[in-house]
Amino acid sequence: MKKSICLYFQVHQPTRLRLYRFFEIGKDSHYFDDFANRTILRRIADKCYLPANRMLLEAIKASDGKFKVAFSISGSVLEQFDRHYPEVIDSFRELAATGCVEFLCETYYHSLASLASPQMFKFQTDLHRKAIEKYFGVTPVTFRNTELIYSDAIGRQVYDMGFKAMLTEGAKHILGWRSPGYVYNGVGAPKLKLLLRNSKLSDDIAFRFSNRGWNEWPLDCDKYLSWLKADDSDVINLFMDYETIGEHQSANTGIFEFMRHLPQTVISDGTFEFVTPAQAAKKHAAVGELSVPDPISWADEERDLSAWLGNELQQDAFNKLYGLAEKVSLAKDDILWTDYSHLQESDHLYYMCTKFFSDGDVHKYFNPYDTPYEAFINYMNVLSDFSIRLDDKLKTSDAREEKPEEKPVIVKPINRPGVKKRPAKKKQ
């Protein structure tokens, strides 16, 4: 039996906030930067999504369907495609029509709901599943949580929602001596199969490809194939952001040529076959259980939650955000619910990260703010206005007296010990 290669791309763009000042609280409730969202989306679509989709479509046809790939496309970016660049959705539909592409399920708003509320987590998962059915005519069967966040508790929730396979990070502190190149079962969900990202081989493309200081630069397909063959695994999971192609690694680095020729190089060698995550889970038996008591992710060297919840700024924002969940469910207002949902996008917390060591450049690259403190102040100003709107809505309705149709959303506050005290806020 040939060994497997599972290639997966994450597609997401946040709904960015505009500069929202203190004196606007209670006066202006337009939070989102429509111009920036449209401009950035169209730029990345022209540099990455459209040309990369054409390239992958050509690779599938040239391989007679032997090349396969998977995508997880957040609901937030699907809304932006629909609003600003519907041609991108059409190009993904062309890929879907080949039957060689799997579309995964995730939280619709690319949120941290799995860490806060089982009800919110399920709601966003169901919403995303319906969106994938609407746009691409397929029902997702594999789950990919925001930023590959996983724990035993999350795995049990995912299994209870009907998924039989889930993607996550092959974190060294979890695996120990074991390899990410095998399928594992989740603890408490023994029928849930886990596919673990090979961080080295994924990051060789996603982060190191254009680094001229890298001792393996330049990377070509034959060299990469030799690395794949040297990995003694059942399945090699290559998971990365789709923006790697053309955005993070620009066209002049040769990334398009590399990705264009890699499928045929691998297929011609005969050692591997490309599989989708669902096919990998079906093909390979689990070799044992993987215990993950505390959540892991694919971010930074720690592979934990510190990119989003590692300091007091982030924890305060997270707790205030999800502390409003029950009120929002009682208000039963579509506009408030939509704003609240987009405020859950994990990117807003990511911008508040205060890491400035080995992962600092990554956080700086993705961050539209000059400092994490500016990101925090801007976000909290927005939440303050949102809270006022929410209270006004509840005061002018009978929502507090009515029995809610569903159980109130239960939220678990985040409190991470050992975090340095944050500096005093800047004047707003």
Catalytic site residues?
147
Token pair listed for 172: 């060294």
Question: How many C-beta neighbours within 10 Å does residue 270 have?
Answer: 8
Enclosing H/E stretch for 102: strand 101-103
Helix, strand, coil percentages in the chain from 3-state DSSP, rounded to 5: 50, 15, 40
Give, as one character, the DSSP assignment of residue 150.
B
In angstroms, the CA 226 to CA 104 distance is 29
CA dihedral (140, 143, 144, 149) in degrees, to 10, reads: 160
Cis peptide before 218 (omega within 30 of 0): yes
For residue 289, list its beta bridge partners. 185
For residue 111, list its beta bridge partners. 345
Written in H, E and C, the secondary structure of 194-259 is EEEECHHHHHHHHCCCCCCCCCCCCCCHHHHHHHHHHCCCCEEEEEEEHHHECCCECHHHCHHHHH
Please, what is the angle between helix 34-44 and helix 75-84, to 10°? 90
